[in-house]
Amino acid sequence: MSTIAKKYGQVALINTFTVEPSNIDALVEELNEATEKVMSKRPGFVSANIHRSLDGRHVANYAQWNSKADFDAMLNDPASREHRDRLAKIASSVSPILYTVDAVHGGEASGA
Amino acid sequence: MSTIAKKYGQVALINTFTVEPSNIDALVEELNEATEKVMSKRPGFVSANIHRSLDGRHVANYAQWNSKADFDAMLNDPASREHRDRLAKIASSVSPILYTVDAVHGGEASGA
Protein backbone atom coordinates (compact mmCIF):
# COMPACT_ATOMS: atom_id res chain seq x y z
CA MET A 1 0.00 0.00 0.00
CA SER A 2 1.26 3.48 -0.87
CA THR A 3 0.11 6.68 0.75
CA ILE A 4 -0.32 10.16 -0.71
CA ALA A 5 0.16 13.07 1.67
CA LYS A 6 2.03 16.37 1.77
CA LYS A 7 5.50 15.28 2.88
CA TYR A 8 8.38 17.75 3.05
CA GLY A 9 10.86 17.23 0.21
CA GLN A 10 9.11 14.18 -1.27
CA VAL A 11 8.50 14.22 -5.02
CA ALA A 12 6.03 12.26 -7.14
CA LEU A 13 6.85 11.20 -10.67
CA ILE A 14 3.77 10.69 -12.79
CA ASN A 15 4.99 8.94 -15.92
CA THR A 16 2.28 8.43 -18.53
CA PHE A 17 2.86 6.05 -21.43
CA THR A 18 0.81 5.72 -24.60
CA VAL A 19 1.03 2.21 -26.03
CA GLU A 20 -0.47 -0.03 -28.68
CA PRO A 21 -2.96 -2.28 -26.84
CA SER A 22 -1.01 -5.33 -28.09
CA ASN A 23 2.09 -4.02 -26.27
CA ILE A 24 0.51 -3.12 -22.93
CA ASP A 25 1.44 -6.40 -21.22
CA ALA A 26 5.07 -6.09 -22.32
CA LEU A 27 5.20 -2.50 -21.08
CA VAL A 28 3.75 -3.38 -17.67
CA GLU A 29 6.17 -6.31 -17.35
CA GLU A 30 9.16 -4.14 -18.21
CA LEU A 31 8.03 -1.49 -15.68
CA ASN A 32 7.64 -4.12 -12.97
CA GLU A 33 11.07 -5.55 -13.75
CA ALA A 34 12.77 -2.13 -13.84
CA THR A 35 11.17 -1.28 -10.51
CA GLU A 36 12.09 -4.53 -8.78
CA LYS A 37 15.62 -4.88 -10.14
CA VAL A 38 16.81 -1.27 -10.23
CA MET A 39 14.62 1.59 -8.96
CA SER A 40 13.52 -0.03 -5.68
CA LYS A 41 17.18 -0.67 -4.77
CA ARG A 42 18.18 3.00 -5.12
CA PRO A 43 18.41 5.37 -2.12
CA GLY A 44 15.27 7.44 -1.58
CA PHE A 45 12.88 5.09 -3.41
CA VAL A 46 9.49 5.14 -1.67
CA SER A 47 7.04 3.43 -4.03
CA ALA A 48 6.05 2.75 -7.62
CA ASN A 49 2.39 2.22 -8.48
CA ILE A 50 1.72 0.80 -11.92
CA HIS A 51 -1.66 1.56 -13.51
CA ARG A 52 -3.37 0.28 -16.68
CA SER A 53 -5.96 2.45 -18.40
CA LEU A 54 -9.44 1.06 -18.88
CA ASP A 55 -9.12 1.59 -22.64
CA GLY A 56 -5.89 -0.47 -22.81
CA ARG A 57 -3.97 2.37 -24.48
CA HIS A 58 -2.12 3.91 -21.53
CA VAL A 59 0.03 2.91 -18.62
CA ALA A 60 0.89 5.25 -15.75
CA ASN A 61 3.53 4.93 -13.08
CA TYR A 62 2.86 7.00 -9.96
CA ALA A 63 6.24 6.81 -8.22
CA GLN A 64 7.42 8.48 -5.03
CA TRP A 65 10.97 9.49 -4.07
CA ASN A 66 12.21 10.99 -0.81
CA SER A 67 13.80 13.95 -2.60
CA LYS A 68 14.49 15.39 -6.03
CA ALA A 69 18.20 14.69 -5.42
CA ASP A 70 17.46 10.97 -4.96
CA PHE A 71 15.36 10.96 -8.10
CA ASP A 72 18.08 12.74 -10.12
CA ALA A 73 20.73 10.29 -8.88
CA MET A 74 18.57 7.39 -10.12
CA LEU A 75 18.11 9.10 -13.51
CA ASN A 76 21.90 9.33 -13.91
CA ASP A 77 22.39 5.68 -13.06
CA PRO A 78 23.30 3.73 -16.27
CA ALA A 79 21.21 0.71 -15.17
CA SER A 80 18.08 2.85 -14.92
CA ARG A 81 18.86 4.40 -18.30
CA GLU A 82 18.88 0.94 -19.91
CA HIS A 83 15.40 0.25 -18.59
CA ARG A 84 14.14 3.66 -19.73
CA ASP A 85 15.47 2.95 -23.24
CA ARG A 86 13.57 -0.34 -23.30
CA LEU A 87 10.36 1.31 -22.07
CA ALA A 88 10.68 4.01 -24.74
CA LYS A 89 10.98 1.31 -27.43
CA ILE A 90 7.81 -0.49 -26.31
CA ALA A 91 5.70 2.65 -25.78
CA SER A 92 4.66 5.03 -28.55
CA SER A 93 5.11 8.02 -26.21
CA VAL A 94 6.44 8.63 -22.70
CA SER A 95 5.60 11.71 -20.64
CA PRO A 96 7.40 11.88 -17.27
CA ILE A 97 6.53 14.86 -15.04
CA LEU A 98 7.83 15.52 -11.54
CA TYR A 99 5.40 16.94 -8.96
CA THR A 100 4.90 17.76 -5.31
CA VAL A 101 1.59 17.09 -3.55
CA ASP A 102 -0.32 20.34 -3.06
CA ALA A 103 -3.61 19.23 -1.48
CA VAL A 104 -5.29 16.00 -0.43
CA HIS A 105 -9.11 15.87 -0.31
CA GLY A 106 -10.96 12.92 1.17
CA GLY A 107 -8.93 9.77 1.65
CA GLU A 108 -8.53 8.48 5.17
CA ALA A 109 -7.64 10.18 8.44
CA SER A 110 -3.89 10.08 8.93
CA GLY A 111 -2.57 7.93 11.75
CA ALA A 112 0.18 10.52 12.29
CA MET B 1 -3.96 10.90 3.50
CA SER B 2 -4.88 8.80 0.49
CA THR B 3 -3.82 5.23 -0.11
CA ILE B 4 -3.00 3.42 -3.33
CA ALA B 5 -3.67 -0.31 -3.40
CA LYS B 6 -5.36 -2.83 -5.67
CA LYS B 7 -9.02 -2.48 -4.68
CA TYR B 8 -11.75 -4.35 -6.52
CA GLY B 9 -13.79 -2.05 -8.76
CA GLN B 10 -12.00 1.14 -7.72
CA VAL B 11 -10.81 3.42 -10.52
CA ALA B 12 -8.16 6.13 -10.53
CA LEU B 13 -8.49 9.21 -12.71
CA ILE B 14 -5.14 10.78 -13.53
CA ASN B 15 -5.96 14.15 -15.03
CA THR B 16 -2.91 16.04 -16.29
CA PHE B 17 -3.18 19.75 -17.12
CA THR B 18 -0.68 21.87 -19.01
CA VAL B 19 -0.87 25.51 -17.95
CA GLU B 20 0.92 28.83 -18.34
CA PRO B 21 2.95 29.30 -15.14
CA SER B 22 1.06 32.56 -14.50
CA ASN B 23 -2.21 30.57 -14.39
CA ILE B 24 -1.13 27.69 -12.17
CA ASP B 25 -2.48 29.23 -8.95
CA ALA B 26 -5.89 29.87 -10.54
CA LEU B 27 -6.00 26.30 -11.86
CA VAL B 28 -5.15 24.77 -8.48
CA GLU B 29 -7.74 27.00 -6.77
CA GLU B 30 -10.44 25.99 -9.25
CA LEU B 31 -9.57 22.29 -8.80
CA ASN B 32 -9.75 22.62 -5.01
CA GLU B 33 -13.10 24.41 -5.25
CA ALA B 34 -14.56 21.91 -7.71
CA THR B 35 -13.45 19.07 -5.46
CA GLU B 36 -14.81 20.57 -2.24
CA LYS B 37 -18.11 21.89 -3.60
CA VAL B 38 -19.07 19.20 -6.11
CA MET B 39 -16.94 16.08 -6.59
CA SER B 40 -16.45 15.20 -2.91
CA LYS B 41 -20.25 15.32 -2.38
CA ARG B 42 -20.96 12.76 -5.09
CA PRO B 43 -21.52 9.04 -4.31
CA GLY B 44 -18.40 6.94 -4.70
CA PHE B 45 -15.88 9.76 -4.26
CA VAL B 46 -12.79 8.46 -2.44
CA SER B 47 -10.11 11.12 -2.80
CA ALA B 48 -8.62 13.85 -4.97
CA ASN B 49 -4.91 14.59 -4.72
CA ILE B 50 -3.80 17.81 -6.38
CA HIS B 51 -0.18 18.04 -7.55
CA ARG B 52 1.93 20.92 -8.92
CA SER B 53 4.87 20.15 -11.20
CA LEU B 54 8.31 21.35 -10.13
CA ASP B 55 8.59 23.32 -13.40
CA GLY B 56 5.31 25.19 -12.75
CA ARG B 57 3.83 24.14 -16.10
CA HIS B 58 1.64 21.19 -15.09
CA VAL B 59 -0.99 20.27 -12.56
CA ALA B 60 -2.15 16.70 -11.95
CA ASN B 61 -5.18 15.42 -10.12
CA TYR B 62 -4.88 11.83 -8.92
CA ALA B 63 -8.50 11.08 -7.99
CA GLN B 64 -10.06 7.84 -6.78
CA TRP B 65 -13.65 6.63 -7.22
CA ASN B 66 -15.29 3.52 -5.87
CA SER B 67 -16.43 2.42 -9.32
CA LYS B 68 -16.50 3.47 -12.95
CA ALA B 69 -20.30 3.84 -12.62
CA ASP B 70 -19.83 6.40 -9.82
CA PHE B 71 -17.26 8.26 -11.90
CA ASP B 72 -19.55 8.28 -14.97
CA ALA B 73 -22.50 9.57 -12.89
CA MET B 74 -20.32 12.47 -11.69
CA LEU B 75 -19.27 13.24 -15.30
CA ASN B 76 -22.92 13.51 -16.33
CA ASP B 77 -23.75 15.87 -13.47
CA PRO B 78 -24.26 19.42 -14.86
CA ALA B 79 -22.53 20.98 -11.81
CA SER B 80 -19.37 18.98 -12.46
CA ARG B 81 -19.52 19.93 -16.14
CA GLU B 82 -19.48 23.64 -15.22
CA HIS B 83 -16.29 23.15 -13.25
CA ARG B 84 -14.68 21.15 -16.06
CA ASP B 85 -15.50 23.97 -18.51
CA ARG B 86 -13.79 26.47 -16.20
CA LEU B 87 -10.73 24.23 -15.81
CA ALA B 88 -10.48 23.82 -19.59
CA LYS B 89 -10.51 27.61 -19.99
CA ILE B 90 -7.65 28.14 -17.51
CA ALA B 91 -5.48 25.26 -18.76
CA SER B 92 -3.91 25.08 -22.21
CA SER B 93 -4.53 21.31 -22.33
CA VAL B 94 -6.37 18.71 -20.24
CA SER B 95 -5.69 14.98 -20.47
CA PRO B 96 -7.98 12.84 -18.27
CA ILE B 97 -7.30 9.08 -18.30
CA LEU B 98 -9.09 6.45 -16.23
CA TYR B 99 -7.00 3.60 -14.75
CA THR B 100 -7.02 0.68 -12.40
CA VAL B 101 -4.07 -0.11 -10.14
CA ASP B 102 -2.09 -3.04 -11.50
CA ALA B 103 0.87 -3.35 -9.09
CA VAL B 104 2.19 -1.59 -6.00
CA HIS B 105 5.92 -1.77 -5.23
CA GLY B 106 7.35 -0.48 -1.97
CA GLY B 107 5.09 1.80 0.03
CA GLU B 108 4.10 0.61 3.48
CA ALA B 109 2.83 -2.68 4.79
CA SER B 110 -0.96 -2.69 4.63
CA GLY B 111 -2.82 -2.73 7.93
CA ALA B 112 -5.50 -4.89 6.29
- Going residue by residue through chain B, which has 112 residues, state the pLDDT in tens, using 9 for 90 and above: 999 999 999 999 999 999 999 999 999 999 999 999 999 999 999 999 999 999 999 999 999 999 999 999 999 999 999 999 999 999 999 999 999 999 999 977 554 4
Count residue pairs from A and B with Cβ separation < 8 A.
166
What is the torsion angle, in degrees rounded to the nearest 10, for the CA atoms of residue B106, residue A26, residue A85 and residue A41? 20
Q: Is residue B18 part of a domain?
A: yes
User: What pLDDT does B109 receive?
Assistant: 59
**Least Cα separation, residue B106 to chain A (angstroms):** 4
pLDDT band for position A100 (cuts 50, 70, 90): very high
Beta bridge pairs of residue B94: B17
Collapsing DSSP to helix, strand or coil, A93 comes out as: strand
Residue B56 per-residue DSSP state? S
Interface contact flag, A2 B100, Cβ < 8 Å: no
Q: How many domains does chain B have?
A: 1
Q: Is residue B112 part of a domain?
A: no
By C-alpha distance, the chain B residue nearest A107 is: B2
* Residues of chain B neighbouring A19 (CB-CB closer than 8 A): none
Domain of A44 in residue numbering reads as: 11-99
Residue B46 CA: distances (Å) to CA of A35, A77, B37, B62, B104: 27, 37, 14, 11, 18
Indicate which CATH number applies to the domain containing A70. 3.30.70.100
Residue B38 per-residue DSSP state? T
* Residues of chain A neighbouring B50 (CB-CB closer than 8 A): 101-105
Phi, psi of B93 (to 5 degrees): -155, 155
Full-model pTM: 0.95
For B109, other C-beta atoms within 10 Å of its C-beta total 6
Q: Is residue A79 part of a domain?
A: yes
Q: Is residue B63 part of a domain?
A: yes
User: What pLDDT does A111 receive?
Assistant: 47
Q: Is residue B4 part of a domain?
A: no
Interface contact flag, B101 A51, Cβ < 8 Å: yes
Interface residue of B13, B40, B105 to substitute, partner A, most A CBs within 10 Å:
B105
| pLDDT exceeds cutoff 70 at A109 | no
Q: Is residue B29 part of a domain?
A: yes
**Least Cα separation, residue B8 to chain A (angstroms):** 14
